[in-house]
Amino acid sequence: MQIDLKTALQVVGNPPESDTPSLVIPKGFVNPGAWVMLASTARRHHIANKNIYFPDQKTLDYSSAIGFNDCVFGEDDYQYCRKNVGSTYSPLTRLDCIESTDAANNQIVSCVREMLSNPDLQGSIDLMNVIGELHDNVWAHGRSTGVSMAQKWNDWDNGGRPAIEFALADTGHGFLRELRRYGKAADDDIQAIQWCVTKNNSTKHADDDDDWAQSVPEDIIGGSPFGAAVPRVTSRLNHQGLGLWKLTELIRKYRGKLTLVSGTGCLQMDTDGQMMYSSCPEWEGVALSCRLYEDELGREEDEPDDQVAAIMERLGGL
């Protein structure tokens, strides 16, 4: 059984009543979207290590390998060399200051470059740019509560296709409160999400910056880890609002999957680009997971659909 972000939300959004906060990790394959939500919950509620319950030793060992304990408590309990870090996964990382956010972004983008067989394809560059944008905005809006990670794995719910999943969560204001702070109209959490994924809607602007430029630390030494194809900016105030329209366009263009929650609102996008809104247990803040498939990132141009092809055939006969 695959435990994704929305499945984890059913656990953390409906905690059992107790004077002692606890967290039960669900049984199954816990993917990045679920891990960032579980880690954020443990941090937000100051859950003691002894009150976090794992379903089996395998899940406990895996959590240790991806840095769950280090992320939540600042104590790395993994006893072995992480041979695959930076190539097949980037561990759970706290986004609690500008330096850690920059480091997490650099690490994840560098990791994504290693995951991809051709990181210089346009789809790969688009993915890395969106990851940078989202990190930048979690720092701007998440009140130093963010957590992120990335992983490459085989999605057995989708034919075992190699997938790259990037996920982050924060326990900040959430979209609805954030929009109201800036005087934007939204009646509920779903409307707030809809507003944030609409093109040209933004709570902050930096018009002098390249929309797709990748943020890097001001004191970076040497070349950019993103490669020459990705433009970069060094300003720490380059957020372009919540940056979510770019994310939804990325998911639609490359036929990926997206789950995005804020408050009691949830947006899910499937590989056909359909956007489905629903209510969910409340999450104070924002959490998202985006999953893209390497074979789709390799597509440089969309193939014309049947209707366009038929029109082109008719024109050719004139």
Per-residue pLDDT of 79-118, as tens digits, reads: 999 988 888 899 999 998 888 888 888 888 888 888 877 7
Q: With respect to residue 110, please indicate whether it lies within any of the assigned structural domains.
A: yes
Q: Is residue 243 part of a domain?
A: yes
Tally of domains in the chain: 1
Domain hosting residue 67, numbered range:
2-297
Supply the angle between the helices 5-12 and 32-44 in degrees, to the nearest 10: 30
Residue 308 lies in a domain: no
Are 192 and 230 in contact by the 8 Å Cβ rule? The answer is no
pLDDT in tens, 250-260: 999 999 999 99
pLDDT band at 304 (very low <50, low <70, confident <90, very high): very low
Residue 208 has pLDDT above 80, yes or no: no
Does 123 map to a domain?
Answer: yes
Give a yes or no: residue 138 inside a domain: yes
| pTM (two decimals) | 0.81
User: CA-CA distances (angstroms) from residue 80 to 33, 76, 105, 126, 224?
Assistant: 25, 11, 24, 34, 30
Distance between CA 24 and CA 159 in Å, rounded?
Answer: 29
Q: How far is CA 4 from CA 8, 10, 37, 171, 273, in A?
A: 6, 10, 10, 18, 19
Q: How far is CA 34 from the centre of its chain?
A: 11
